[in-house]
Amino acid sequence: MRDTVNWVTACHLDDIEQEGAIRFDHAGRTYAIYRAPDDSVYCTAGLCTHEAIHLADGLVMDYEVECPKHSGAFDYRTGEALRLPACANLKTYAVEVVQGEVRVAL
Amino acid sequence: MNMIIIGAGECGTRAAFALREAGFSGAVTLIGAEHGLPYERPPLSKPDGDGVQRKTICDQAALEGAGIAYMPGTTIAAIDPALRIVRLADRELPYDKLLIATGAQPRRLTCPGAEHALDFRSHADAARVFAGATGPVAIIGAGLIGMELAAVLRARGLPVTVIELGPAPLGRAVPPRFAARLHQRHETEGVRFHFGQAIAGIDAAGVTLADGTHIPATLTVSAIGVVPDLGLASLAGLAVGNGILINARLQTSDPHIFAAGDCAAIAGQRYETWRNARDQAQIAALNMLGQAQDFAALPWFWSDQYDLGLQVVGTPQDAPILRSHPDGTEIEFHLQGDRLIAAAGLGRGNAVARDIKLAEMLIAGGQSVDAASLADPSVGLKSLLKARKAA
């Protein structure tokens, strides 16, 4: 198995609200892409580690996303689980924004 | 110091871990009536392809890692508040502080043949219901559980009839607008309803209504609400009413005994929600350790039916302000004067989750909100929250 990074164009920066998130599905998997209050962009696995709920439906405040069902919370920059019932961290993916185009290293 | 928790559901289990998270290093014993590891109840009504999920709250390693002595499948004979002892069949366990989190039991029908109706509360109940759901199903009770179950069984292609004594579904906790929308959706999906009907009798062939109508069903489920589990508390002489009576610190009439979750009534009110079970567990644990934390109730719950998601925060009143999004998502805001006290929303999937969470923050903030802004879907609730913070 090769471990080369595959840069995938996910969306345009303008597709994501500032301090917001969108869901991005690719190759049968789901991700969440976040635009921070400072316009930096991050990507994590799309489903909460507690139960399979799409995090992009959750509230983004500062650098935190809250699961829309059980209020578990994560730092979407690092994937760190911040609040119960979430205990396992989220996987994160590198992101680059080139001329407004958001690319994710999947 | 010995801490004993009776009841290993969402509330009791959370309290056990919360004691450790607060730094308590004495003995923690968690006693459950059911066998196996503590599990979450909300997933029980959402079976996957392999049947009913048993999603555990924690695994054995987490219990051991936290030094929690877990005693599943254990029946308690009595609590002796004078000696501060919990009596089991074969031994006695002394406590310094005790938490009762025994939850609630399904309310039983009293009509002839009531024993033919299955309950829907425990994992074993859910397994029986889904294993038996192979033909027409009659569900008695159009509350949240009855309606969620109807949606799941209908989605499996089974004929489903819901029978309700009241005039409409979801009468107790859901604002009328959303109850009507959910009802309409069930009708569209082909669920049949009978309202204002008492049950004359149940047998293996189905349900007979008071007016003589016979509803054929190979499976009948009773979902007419729950009654708090008060047996041990009553026997111990604790004050009980519509639940084990507790003060704002979640203390019963005995200062060494706390109660929390579905079994506990604070100012006459019980909160039968997942969130409340966890919130009260947290407060109870801290107060067992001698802190003086008051419980501030802000009820919150969700319900999923088909692809629709309902969320309610606070206690909805009459005459709400409506925010309608172009995609059909609707949020109701309930004001008292110019302060937000409750909000409810219905939309696809988790479409309302963000706005309900922001509404919860606006409620907790307790400052005035502008009704016109609440009604306008182009005004982000986050901007109202931030405007307030800046003010």
Nearest to B126 by CA among B196, B262, B219, B189: B219
Do domains B114-222 and B307-385 share one topology? The answer is no
Q: How far is A46 from chain B (nearest CA, A)?
A: 14
Nearest to B341 by CA among B357, B358, B317, B319: B317
Which tops the pLDDT comparison, B107 or B45?
B107
Q: How far is CA A27 from CA A6, A12, A51, in A?
A: 12, 19, 21
- pLDDT tens digits along B189-209: 999 999 999 999 999 999 999
Domain residue limits, chain B: 2-105+226-289, 114-222, 307-385
CB contact under 8 A, B354 and A54: no
- pLDDT tens digits along A39-93: 999 999 999 988 889 999 999 999 999 999 888 999 999 999 998 888 899 999 9
pLDDT at B30 over 70: yes
Q: Are strands A64-66 and A59-61 parallel, antiparallel or unpaired?
A: antiparallel
Whats the size of chain B, residue-wise? Answer: 391
Q: Are strands B104-106 and B117-118 parallel, antiparallel or unpaired?
A: unpaired
Residue B93 is which amino acid? Answer: L
- Per-residue HEC secondary structure of chain A comes to CCCCCCEEEEEEHHHCCCCEEEEEEECCEEEEEEECCCCCEEEEECECCCCCCEHHHCEEECCEEECCCCCCEEECCCCEEEECCCCCCCCEECEEEECCEEEEEC
Say which of B278, B350, B351 has its CB closest to residue A69.
Answer: B350
Sheet-wide strand order for A92-93:
A20-26, A29-35, A41-45, A92-93
Report all structural domains of chain A as residue ranges with CATH numbers, in order of start.
7-105 (2.102.10.10)
Whats the size of chain A, residue-wise? Answer: 106
Q: How far is B333 from chain A (nearest CA, A)?
A: 18
A51 has a chain B CB within 8 A of its CB: yes
CB distance B74 to B33 below 8 Å: yes
B54 has a chain A CB within 8 A of its CB: no
Residues 6+ apart with CB under 8 A from A66: A58, A59, A60, A72, A73, A83, B357
pLDDT at B167 over 70: yes
Q: What are phi and psi of B235, to 5 degrees?
A: -60, -35
Say which of B43, B274, B353 has its CB closest to residue A68.
Answer: B353
Q: Which one-letter DSSP state was computed for residue B44?
A: G
Q: What is the ipTM of this complex?
A: 0.84
Q: Which CATH number fits domain B114-222: 3.40.50.360, 3.50.50.60, 3.90.1720.10, 3.40.50.300?
A: 3.50.50.60
Paired tokens of B190 = 């082909």
Cα Dmax for chain B: 65
Looking at chain A, which residue has its C-alpha nearest residue B276?
A: A70
The pTM (predicted TM-score) of the whole model is: 0.90
Q: How far is CA B371 from CA B174, B211, B337, B361, in A?
A: 22, 47, 10, 16
Paired tokens of A14 = 């303008």
B134 has a chain A CB within 8 A of its CB: no
CB distance B260 to B250 below 8 Å: yes
- What b-and-e string marks burial along B102-113, b requiring 16 or more CB atoms within 10 Å of the CB? bbbbbeebebeb
A82 has a chain B CB within 8 A of its CB: no
pLDDT at B297 over 90: no
- pLDDT tens digits along B321-375: 999 999 999 999 999 999 999 999 999 999 999 999 999 999 998 878 999 999 9
pLDDT at A3 over 80: no
CB contact under 8 A, B350 and A59: no
Q: Please provide the DSSP assignment of B107-155 as one string.
A: PPP-STTGGGEEP-SSHHHHHHHHHH-SS-EEEE--SHHHHHHHHHHHH
Which residues of chain B are within 8 Å of residue A49 when distances are taken between CB atoms? Answer: none
Paired tokens of B296 = 């501030």
A80 has a chain B CB within 8 A of its CB: no
pLDDT at B42 over 90: no
Q: Which one-letter DSSP state was computed for residue B96?
A: S
Q: How far is B113 from chain A (nearest CA, A)?
A: 38
CB contact under 8 A, A51 and B275: no
Does the bond joining A85 to the residue before it have cis omega, within 30 degrees of 0? yes
- pLDDT tens digits along B98-153: 999 999 999 999 999 999 999 999 999 999 999 999 999 999 999 999 999 999 99
Q: How far is B263 from chain A (nearest CA, A)?
A: 21
What CATH number has the domain spanning B2-105+226-289? 3.50.50.60
Computed on alpha carbons and rounded to an integer, the radius of gyration of chain B in Å comes to 22
What class, spelled out in words, does domain B307-385 have in CATH? alpha beta
Paired tokens of B283 = 């407060």
Q: How far is A58 from chain B (nearest CA, A)?
A: 6
Nearest to B197 by CA among B183, B212, B182, B184: B212
Band (pLDDT 50/70/90 cuts) for residue B391 is low
- pLDDT tens digits along B212-232: 999 999 999 999 999 999 999
A75 has a chain B CB within 8 A of its CB: no
Size of the A and B interface in Cβ pairs below 8 Å: 32
